[in-house]
Amino acid sequence: MSKKKEIIINVALIGGLLLILFILERFLPATSMLFTVLKKGAIYALVAVSMNLLNGFTGLFSLGQAGFMLVGAYTYGVLTIPVAERANVYMYFDGGLIQFALHPIIAIILAGALAGVFAYLIGLPVLRLKSDYLAIATLGFAEIIRAIFQWDKLGPITNGSNLLRSYPSYKSVLFYFVASGICIALIVMMINSTYGRAFKAIRDDEVAAEAMGINLAHHKRIAFVVSSFFAGVSGALLAMYQTSVQAAMFKSAMTYEILLIVVIGGIGSITGSCISAFLFIILSEWLLRFLDTDTYIGSFHVPLLRSGFRKVVFAVIIMIIVLFFRQGIMGTKEFSISGIYHKITGKKKKEVKGGGADE
């Protein structure tokens, strides 16, 4: 199968997917669980891919994702609340300091940019640290960011520990798919560029990478800032999806969840992260819901089923994957049309990467 043909098929598939979503939105009620799940899945796919860029492709074990999402979510909320609503939202801070509202798209880009700026500053000290020390330092910075945003002295800007709400948000699931899709595409393109090769070299062997003329500090910083930029964008999308946002929700537990999504999908696989994000959200928010409700079959009360059971089952599944299927769904492979094509036609691809659809 030629490269051109593959691109055409891929574009057609994406177009088809968007068309199906478009049609579904015409026929299903807007409150349908399907849309909720798809929106959240798209957002989590983006943040999981951004984390994979660090953990999977550059070998930097960072746990700061929730902090950068927070920066993005707040930037979006603060900059887009309509002036008329500000007195109401910032009721404890005399309507707040900022008295303008930006277009949502501009605010989303600024959300990413500010997260990137935070990442640049945080990266100066922490990127020199190795493996688990880096993990714990980034986790720590995420906590510091959260404390700063909840600080009442900054209330006129951040609304302290109160909710940000009343900002505009796009309702269509298409918006989330397109926004997240563009961002993921950019990350993939970067990974496939000469910079991506440098990242992978650093992941495989830092000393050898340096000996090949790759400046470690510079490239680690790029990966960290870019990853945080997209985490910021996903934070903005999450804020939009939830219609209200509060710093208290961006705890380290959120980062852990994202990390587990990355692990389930396969560390080092972009498509793996995407598939796993949707699976995670669909299962946890929708299909496994029944585990959380008391259920009677006739007069028989099904044991164990009650609030919270879903997450226990979920955690057990995750542990099984972590322990017994360490490669995750995709390992380091990528899901691709040509992979499936070769699988079906029985031709073996002679390339090492970019291979088959499954293991």
Partner 1 sequence: MDWLSRNLPYLMAGISVGGQYALIAIGYTMVYGILRLINFAHGDIFMCAGLIMVYAATVFPVYISIPLVIVVTVLIGFAVERVAYKPLRTAPRMSVMISAIGVSYLLQNLALYITGGLAQQYPALPWISDVITVLGVTTKRVTVITPPLVILLVIVLVFLIHKTKVGMAMRAASKDFETSQLMGIKINSVISLTFIIGSFLAAVGSFLYFSNYTGVTPTAGAMPGLKAFVAAVFGGIGSIPGAVIGAFIIGISENIIKGLGWTTFSDAFTFALLIVVLIFKPTGLFGEAATDKV
Partner 2 sequence: MSENVLKIDHVTMQFGGVVAVDDLNLEVNRGEIVSLIGPNGAGKTTAFNVVTAVYPPTNGAVYFEGKRVVENHPRGKMKKLYNGGHADEYMKTIQPTPDKITKLGIARTFQNIRLFKSQTVFDNILIAEHMRRTSNLFTATLHLNGSEEAAMRKEADRLLHILELDDVRDELATSLPYGKQRRVEIARALATKPSLLLLDEPAAGMNPQETVELTSFIGRIRDDFHLTIFMIEHHMDLVMEISDRIYVLDFGKLISHGTPDVVQNDPKVISAYLGVQEDE
When CB distances are held under 5 to 8 angstroms depending on the partner's kind, the choice from partner 2, partner 1, none that residue 222 binds is: partner 2
- Answer yes or no whether residue 136 interacts with partner 1 by CB under 8 A: yes
When CB distances are held under 5 to 8 angstroms depending on the partner's kind, the choice from partner 2, partner 1, none that residue 322 binds is: partner 1
User: Minimum Å distance from CB 160 to partner 1?
Assistant: 9
What is the SS3 assignment for 102-113? Answer: CCHHHHHHHHHH
- Answer yes or no whether residue 216 interacts with partner 1 by CB under 8 A: no
Segment interacting with partner 2, rule: CB under 8 A, options 63-71, 135-143, 182-190, 274-282: 182-190
Distance from C-alpha of 3 to C-alpha of 36, rounded to nearest angstrom: 35
Pick the binder of partner 1 from 88, 131, 244, 293 (CB under 8 A).
131
Distance from C-alpha of 107 to C-alpha of 80, rounded to nearest angstrom: 7
Distance from C-alpha of 231 to C-alpha of 229, rounded to nearest angstrom: 5
Report the candidate in 314, 294, 289, 296 with the shortest Cα–Cα distance to residue 304. 294
Who's near 202: CB < 8 A, 6+ residues apart? 58, 59, 209, 214, 216, 219, 220
Residues 48-67 close enough to bind partner 1 by CB under 8 A: 55, 61
Residues 8-27 close enough to bind partner 2 by CB under 8 A: none
- How many residues form the binding site for partner 2 (CB under 8 A)? 33
CB-wise, 131 or 193, nearer to partner 2? 193
Distance from C-alpha of 46 to C-alpha of 233, rounded to nearest angstrom: 9
Residues 215-274 close enough to bind partner 2 by CB under 8 A: 215-217, 222, 226, 268
Q: Which of helix, strand or coil describes residue 217? A: helix
Beta bridge mates, 245: 164
User: Minimum Å distance from CB 203 to partner 2?
Assistant: 8
Q: Which of helix, strand or coil describes residue 53? A: helix
Segment interacting with partner 2, rule: CB under 8 A, options 89-97, 121-129, 202-210, 258-266: 202-210
CB-wise, 119 or 135, nearer to partner 1? 135
Q: x/- binding map, residues 291-320, to partner 1, per CB under 8 A?
A: ---------------xxxx-xx-xxx-xx-
- Answer yes or no whether residue 3 interacts with partner 2 by CB under 8 A: no
Segment interacting with partner 1, rule: CB under 8 A, options 96-104, 139-147, 213-221, 223-231: 139-147
Pick the binder of partner 2 from 1, 106, 189, 315 (CB under 8 A).
189
The per-residue DSSP string of 100-167 comes to ----HHHHHHHHHHHHHHHHHHHHHHHTTS-HHHHHHHHHHHHHHHHHHHH-GGGHHHH-TTSPEE--
How many residues would you count in the chain? 359
Backbone angles phi, psi at 267, to 5 degrees: -70, 120
Which whole-number Å values give the CA distances from 301 to 21, 293, 305, in the listed order?
A: 39, 11, 9
- Cβ-contact 254, 69 below 8 angstroms: yes
Segment interacting with partner 2, rule: CB under 8 A, options 94-102, 150-158, 185-193, 236-244: 185-193
Distance from C-alpha of 141 to C-alpha of 132, rounded to nearest angstrom: 14
Beta pairing, strands 164-165 & 300-301? unpaired
- Answer yes or no whether residue 263 interacts with partner 1 by CB under 8 A: yes
Pick the binder of partner 1 from 37, 49, 114, 267 (CB under 8 A).
267
Q: Which residues bind partner 1 (CB under 8 A)?
A: 55, 61, 125-126, 128-129, 131-133, 135-137, 139-141, 143-144, 146-148, 150-152, 207, 251-253, 256-257, 259-260, 263, 267, 306-309, 311-312, 314-316, 318-319, 322-323, 326
Q: Which residues bind partner 2 (CB under 8 A)?
A: 186, 189-190, 192-195, 197-198, 200-201, 203-205, 207-217, 222, 226, 268, 332, 350-353
